[in-house]
């Protein structure tokens, strides 16, 4: 295999072949380790040696399989991002569901997901700051869907749930703020309120029921 010597050749030829052998392929081990460390520490604070060590692999394998730290990061980034928005768009765009139904479904699915991936939102928010354009372009389709469907529903109000129209920005900020912020600010909140990890998760379970109720209360206020 001459790939490392010819940087411009395509790279996936080698991959497909040996995958699915043994327990977990070297490539998969590296990817898993990279996901863990990149997600925890972000791009800049992650060293390729840390990834190799976490994967129990030789450092050179990282470049053998992924060419560069940046390329590896891009792959992780994209997968993380898709994982995070997967499901939510489909739920939210559904024409037949009422606002109330959407609220309940999305919040529950999201909190379940975040309990399993507590570092993901901070990671996304961080990298979105460093690279707004590149990432946004990969998901512009989903954004447009949300704009064309859900935002319209929001702005004309929801008859079934008796919820008046609401400015989409405020709705999103509230919804994500209430749902995602506890995970983004977890270290701070835990420190101030003196809450253990177990208690934190229990509180998040509570919020699955509470947030939809709160959101409806917010939307029912006059002046929105």
By CB under 8 A, name the binding residues for a copy of itself: 41-45, 122, 124-126, 128-130, 132, 136, 143, 146-147, 151, 167-170, 172-174, 176-178, 180-182, 184-185, 187-189, 191-195, 203, 206-207, 209-210, 213-214, 217-218, 220-221, 223-224
Q: 197 and 161 in contact (C-beta within 8 Å)?
A: no
Residue 187, burial from CB neighbour count under 10 angstroms (0-12, 13-18, 19+): exposed
Nearer of residues 61 and 218 to a copy of itself, judged by Cβ: 218
The interface mask with DNA, positions 64-93, x = CB under 7 A, is x--xxxx-----------------------
Q: What residue 203 binds from a copy of itself, DNA, none (CB within 5 to 8 A, per partner kind)?
A: a copy of itself
Query: Does residue 179 interact with DNA by CB under 7 A?
Result: no
Q: 103 and 215 in contact (C-beta within 8 Å)?
A: yes
Cα→Cα distances 8→5, 62, 87, Å: 9, 17, 36
User: How far is the C-alpha of 101 from the C-alpha of 212, rounded, in Å?
Assistant: 9
Helix (H) or strand (E) holding 215: helix 197-220
Nearer of residues 3 and 165 to a copy of itself, judged by Cβ: 165
- Chain-centre distance for alpha carbon 172: 15
* Interacting residues with DNA (CB under 7 A): 1, 4-5, 7, 13-15, 17-18, 21, 26, 46-49, 57-61, 63-64, 67-70
């Amino acid at each position: 295999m001459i790939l490392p010597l010819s940087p411009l050749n395509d790279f996936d030829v080698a991959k497909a072949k040996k995958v699915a052998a043994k327990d977990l392929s070297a490539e998969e081990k590296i990817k898993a380790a990279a996901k863990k460390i990149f997600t925890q520490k972000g791009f800049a604070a992650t060293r390729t040696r840390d990834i190799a060590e976490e994967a129990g692999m030789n450092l050179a394998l990282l470049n053998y399989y992924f060419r560069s730290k940046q390329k590896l990061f891009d792959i992780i980034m994209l997968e993380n991002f898709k994982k995070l928005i997967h499901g939510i768009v489909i739920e939210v765009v559904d024409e037949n569901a009422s606002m109330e139904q959407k609220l309940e479904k999305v919040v529950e699915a999201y909190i379940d997901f975040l309990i399993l991936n507590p570092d993901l939102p901070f990671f996304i928010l961080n990298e979105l700051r460093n690279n707004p354009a590149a990432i946004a372009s990969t998901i512009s389709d989903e954004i447009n869907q949300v704009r064309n469907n859900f935002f319209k529903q929001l702005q004309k109000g929801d008859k079934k749930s008796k919820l008046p129209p609401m400015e989409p920005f405020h709705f999103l900020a509230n919804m994500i703020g209430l749902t995602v912020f506890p995970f983004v600010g977890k270290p701070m909140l835990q420190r101030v309120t003196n809450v253990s990890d177990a208690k934190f998760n229990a509180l998040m379970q509570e919020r699955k029921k509470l947030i939809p109720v709160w959101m409806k209360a917010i939307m029912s206020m006059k002046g929105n």
